[in-house]
Structure 1
């Protein structure tokens, strides 16, 4: 019997380690940018070709490395930032494990050029598959330039798992923004395939936020500044009107390191609880500074998840800091204390408050409920001056009279059923309806939200928004696999300008949007022209539709079970569906219900929400003991 356990060769061990550190091009971008920051650079340039698959290059003007350090930096666990075990608990640098460059060299062809300020010549090293194949002195400016070429060239299986260029570029932009946001005093630039996407001059944090997230935040940022003995919280939060339906512009940094924390996000959401809708998400860029001994940053390979020694204290400070900032800038709800001139003339103000009046006021239930001990929030349930308080909150019975051309938002009819059967054939729809309606069938709208449709033995209670969402979803799904939706060219095309990360996302969606009736073309840096929209939609709202589509599409971005096309058609179906509160006439209600019942799966939306509930006659009889 021979021994079977053996040490792995260095190149294989490095590739295994690289699987943790370098998962995609964006992972390498993060590691290289952090190293440049740690080198004390004031200017950092990132150059990308083919979404990082062909080239990732970072050029900085930092302190550079000696010839020996340049060779040593590619060894595993080689670092200048840790000398003893206690150093792990006082980490203030970005990269510290000594695995980044070793992992980079294991999965790509690397060229390193570096020089220190006091050296006459620099050093050039080429590494391939963890082996140094070239080393020579060169003339170079002080600083470091490291280029990764042909990522995963020696691991074809890993390369095949990479997403499309647009998707990978979006991840690169995200990592670039996170590093650039935390160091506004450093110049950053990002160039992709020869086009410069970012040119971020040195400045204040507010200037950096506006440079990255857009000028729309210029007058809508609230400063957060709280200093305590335990930690400091500073940064900016958005005013309530900047809240969006998706978690887009939300950044937490702990000791200048970007982190993801659902726990701290909940603290911010609690601070906004009374000023934004429950389904909206505020914008924030918050920096938490505390003793490194109070946190553990090495609990995850990407270092984006950390552990606090006392999470509850950090939660309380963050929530209090945001609440204080909103209150200080009069963002939270306040009472209006300006007194009307007419009030000054009223009897209650102008006439004296006599002893009789004081006694009458003191004996009232209202006075007692607010003056008795521990009764500050007590309201008398008996007869009192407050007995009609609920009437202020009763909904109005007045119907919503706003009308709209509902027919424009539904599929093109090809027969009396109201469904395009060319579309139905592509999806394998069952053309036979479960319920039939006669010309005498009367449809009723309830609260401008529900439709009551009588059937043979009972009635259907249809939710107009979820029903329309199901109809549009199946229509768009058919358009992506068969006949495209017809496009109506715009006489005056709308121009839309997006943030760089949204721009990368829209570039990825352009081919599928064309199938769905939106003709969108790039027009310069982060700018697009909407040349056409679906022919059955009303003109004039193309720009808002695309903006809302992007927000809704990002809502699904964290759910890996959805494909890109699935996210897109779900987003469009929700975006274009008729919303609750819209008045529908009899013809529109009939068409909506009939189109729903010929869908392949009429009873739920794509997300599983019911579209209608059926009440059968037997059930109704039981309700009344008939």
Structure 2
């Protein structure tokens, strides 16, 4: 049998490695910018064309490379960062594996121009598919200039899986923001041939945050600083007012490297316990400075996951530091014991005034029940008195003293009986607890709501809830939410089929977005205009909202657009469908039965029947509970 195992050519091996390191244009930019930082650059400029698919150019003013180093840098595992295995646990650089340039050269057309301060001439290298096409001396400035063209030109399958231009550009901006936040002392610029997306001068950490995310972020920031023998934590957290359900800007950096760390994020979240609503998050920008030997960066191809040797102590330190900041800036509710502004309370002193003891007259014959009688129970259409039942309320004669004041005061026979309303509903109920699952078991066969008896009398409680006795217990339905659930599907169909209508805003509102959101917004502007929005670019990261789709009365267009941009950033959801959903829900809320409106028994029955014909009756489209079943066993337990 012939031998079948053989070594892969370097070009093929590099393409395989590139699948881990270079996944999209954003990861390409990450590797090149981090190399520029390691080269000592103070100014880094990135220019992207066609969202990085056609061309990416990275220019830096670092120390550059000699001709030999430039040629060797494109070989696999060629690096200047480490020399032995122990160096992996003492890393002070962004890169160390020597895989990035080899991976890039394997899947793109690369041109490098670089020169060191010691040489008058630089070198130009052109590499395509891991093959050197050109190497010649040239005149160029000190530093490095990488030009990457046609990413994945030789792997059509990989290129086909790239996202739309505005999605890829958004990923590029997000990656660029992370690196820029980690190094506020450096100057960064990101642009396209038509627009400057970010131009960030060097400064301090707070200035960098504000330059990226806008002035509105500045008012929410609270500084955090704690230094221990184990770790130093510096940065900023948002006050409780900055919390939001989605899209909160959250960044961890370990020794100048961006990282994702859900465990540490929970420490931040727990520090805000009972200060923000459940499910909401606050922004934070925190740098963790720690001895490199106590962390392991080499556990993920993109180096965004870092393993800490002392995770639990750091978790406690992190939480305590944030709690201390919240207390220092009065973000935690406290009781004010300051008495400076408190009104003076006069203090009694002996000799000031002679106060005589009060004179009290007691009438021993007084009886508070002498001229009143308990009100007789009123008959109700929902709870009529049972046949044969009588009321024994009668006026009482006055009595001397209190000894007999309450004798027989409530000697009444219960005039209310449940037999009329609940006679059959509870007759054969099981003693086992009922759940929503048991309720739904009946629904497929009882689409018309027949699981509630036809003659049932419904109760409307506080003008909001409908209480219906069933075989499983008591069903409590929110009438407004139930009607919203019913109407939503109808309005969703109408909005999808209707021609978009827009209405002008008397006073145009200003929408401020981050650079990554701006990239998405510019990509979807035609789609927004097609459904009724009209926006005008004001420069920087600001847009003026001139017109909004009809049917959004009462909704803040700034909040609406920010929510859609957050969804598009995080989940890649279609903006058009998101807006259609929002409009249909808004119309359903306006048309639904309002809280406080009285309903007849037939109206309540019809509402419940229509609700349970729906496939998903439990929650409204925005996730609010519509009804709750109170099991019979739970109701009867106090009487056992």
When normalised by structure 2's length, the TM-score is 0.74
Matches within 5 A, 1:67-466: 67-339=67-339, 344-347=344-347, 434=448, 451-452=465-466, 461-463=476-478
* Aligned partner of 2:522 among 507, 514, 518: 507
8 Å contact from structure 1 (residues 64, 144) kept in 2: yes
Question: Counterpart of 1:392?
Answer: none
Q: Distance in 1 between matches of 2:587 and 2:257?
A: 40
Determine helix, strand or coil for the equivalent of 1:145. Answer: strand
Q: Distance in 1 between matches of 2:594 and 2:564?
A: 21
Q: Tell me by how many angstroms 1:316 deviates.
A: 1.3
Determine helix, strand or coil for the equivalent of 2:338. Answer: coil
Q: Distance in 2 between matches of 1:534 and 1:593?
A: 33
Render the CA deviation track for 1:497-521: whole Å, top value 9, x for unaligned. Answer: 2111222233344455456554445
Q: Distance in 1 between matches of 2:466 and 2:172?
A: 51
Q: Distance in 2 between matches of 1:508 and 1:273?
A: 38
Q: Distance in 2 between matches of 1:276 and 1:456?
A: 38
Question: Counterpart of 2:502?
Answer: 487
Change (3 A) 1:331 1:623: closer
- Matched length: 538
- Which segment is superposed worse, 265-274 or 519-528? 519-528
Residue 570 of structure 2 corresponds to residue 557 of structure 1: yes
Change (3 A) 1:521 1:154: farther
Render the CA deviation track for 1:280-316: whole Å, top value 9, x for unaligned. Answer: 2111111111111100001111111111112111111
Q: Tell me by how many angstroms 1:238 deviates.
A: 1.6
Q: Tell me by how many angstroms 1:169 deviates.
A: 1.1
Q: Distance in 2 between matches of 1:529 and 1:289?
A: 41
* Aligned partner of 1:527 among 542, 546, 550: 542
Q: Distance in 2 between matches of 1:508 and 1:476?
A: 28
Q: Tell me by how many angstroms 1:544 deviates.
A: 3.2
Q: Tell me by how many angstroms 1:254 deviates.
A: 0.5
8 Å contact from structure 2 (residues 484, 620) kept in 1: yes
Q: Distance in 1 between matches of 2:467 and 2:526?
A: 39
Question: Counterpart of 2:360?
Answer: none
Q: Tell me by how many angstroms 1:274 deviates.
A: 3.9
Q: Distance in 2 between matches of 1:480 and 1:166?
A: 26
Q: Distance in 2 between matches of 1:477 and 1:150?
A: 43
Q: Distance in 2 between matches of 1:576 and 1:148?
A: 50
- Which segment is superposed worse, 597-606 or 337-346? 597-606
Change (3 A) 1:584 1:523: farther
8 Å contact from structure 2 (residues 25, 151) kept in 1: yes
Q: Tell me by how many angstroms 1:237 deviates.
A: 1.3
Render the CA deviation track for 1:393-424: whole Å, top value 9, x for unaligned. Answer: xxxxxxxxxxxxxxxxxxxxxxxxxxxxxxxx
- Which segment is superposed worse, 191-200 or 567-576? 567-576
Q: Distance in 2 between matches of 1:305 and 1:525?
A: 33
Change (3 A) 1:61 1:164: same
Q: Distance in 1 between matches of 2:638 and 2:324?
A: 55
Question: Counterpart of 2:553?
Answer: 538
In structure 1, the gaps of 5 or more residues are: 352-432
Render the CA deviation track for 1:60-116: whole Å, top value 9, x for unaligned. Answer: 000000001111111111100010111011011111111111111111111111110
- Which segment is superposed worse, 462-471 or 26-35? 462-471
8 Å contact from structure 1 (residues 444, 453) kept in 2: yes
Change (3 A) 1:35 1:461: same
In structure 2, the gaps of 5 or more residues are: 351-446, 451-455
Render the CA deviation track for 1:122-169: whole Å, top value 9, x for unaligned. Answer: 111111111110111111111001111111111111111111111111
Q: Distance in 2 between matches of 1:476 and 1:172?
A: 38
Change (3 A) 1:3 1:320: same
Q: Tell me by how many angstroms 1:563 deviates.
A: 6.4
Change (3 A) 1:539 1:312: closer
Question: Counterpart of 2:356?
Answer: none
When normalised by structure 1's length, the TM-score is 0.75
* Aligned partner of 2:597 among 585, 588, 598: 585
Q: Distance in 1 between matches of 2:459 and 2:525?
A: 40
Q: Distance in 2 between matches of 1:305 and 1:133?
A: 36
Render the CA deviation track for 1:191-211: whole Å, top value 9, x for unaligned. Answer: 023300111011111111110
8 Å contact from structure 1 (residues 18, 103) kept in 2: yes
Change (3 A) 1:41 1:442: farther
CA RMSD of the aligned region, Å?
4.0
Q: Tell me by how many angstroms 1:271 deviates.
A: 1.8
8 Å contact from structure 2 (residues 551, 583) kept in 1: no
8 Å contact from structure 2 (residues 480, 593) kept in 1: no
Question: Counterpart of 1:394?
Answer: none
Q: Distance in 2 between matches of 1:514 and 1:451?
A: 41
Question: Counterpart of 2:513?
Answer: 498
8 Å contact from structure 1 (residues 476, 569) kept in 2: no
Matches within 5 A, 1:584-603: 585=597, 601-603=616-618
Q: Distance in 1 between matches of 2:491 and 2:163?
A: 24
- Which segment is superposed worse, 198-207 or 212-221? 212-221
Change (3 A) 1:223 1:107: same
Q: Tell me by how many angstroms 1:339 deviates.
A: 1.4
Change (3 A) 1:488 1:329: closer
Q: Distance in 1 between matches of 2:504 and 2:40?
A: 53
Q: Distance in 1 between matches of 2:119 and 2:487?
A: 67
8 Å contact from structure 2 (residues 460, 467) kept in 1: no
Change (3 A) 1:149 1:446: farther
Render the CA deviation track for 1:311-351: whole Å, top value 9, x for unaligned. Answer: 11111111122222222233322321211666642559x79
